[in-house]
Structure 1
């Protein structure tokens, strides 16, 4: 989908200034989205850290329920990361398109120079909830395995 633009000749004002101001607004909005994304990540990290701390104090059958809740929270976290990624991707596509009407295109130039040398933040962000999912899975398996061992061989599990 192409950005709909009014032709310069049909615009009843300072076209370049209007494009620049709209570009600045889009940049501010993109930064706002990034800030909200960071805040959401901080909330999810805090929530998961607190939940996992509670789980480690009681590695019994209650931890299965709490770990299942933790996994659900992590899945929600991953969906949130994906949602913010899509939102920012569209925002930067529009910014890049607007730059074609400006004398300089700093964001386009930056991405061209980075080429494939950049590890996307989304990949790094998703690593954290996946690590929590692994920890929660271990917290689910531990009491189950210990219960089976105690059932099979009461002398070890007792």
Structure 2
């Protein structure tokens, strides 16, 4: 019982990250063996901001290594976020807080989305980038959402 309580406590202090839903994909390079290289489009809702959905497109490496999960995906990614309902906050926002993270190689490389709040302009800013244990990539993309009133249903 004590171990279960400790595990539950440890899980509660971990950051809440969004999980992505695949919207679609297109092939970019034909591979004779294994899946083709492709661009995948995914959507995720910000776990701490109700009414915001982000759409992410990213490169996914195919071939035999890609099919087995051993290939390293390119750092190319793009993001666009939209207000999809009334915006409300379910927790305290932290500057540069990670809201989405996905492994893009077997061990060392990840793609992540972080959120900033531009208080002066009353906007949420989302940034996607890739990093490695040793060296990241300067390739990035960002989207900004002005926090606006949502029309009431009639």
Please tell me the TM-score bracket, short chain as reference. under 0.3
Structure whose residues are more often helix by fraction? 1
Structure whose residues are more often strand by fraction? 2
* TM-score w.r.t. length of structure 1: 0.23
Q: Which has the larger radius of gyration?
A: 1
Q: Which has the higher contact order (CA 8 A, sep 6+)?
A: 1
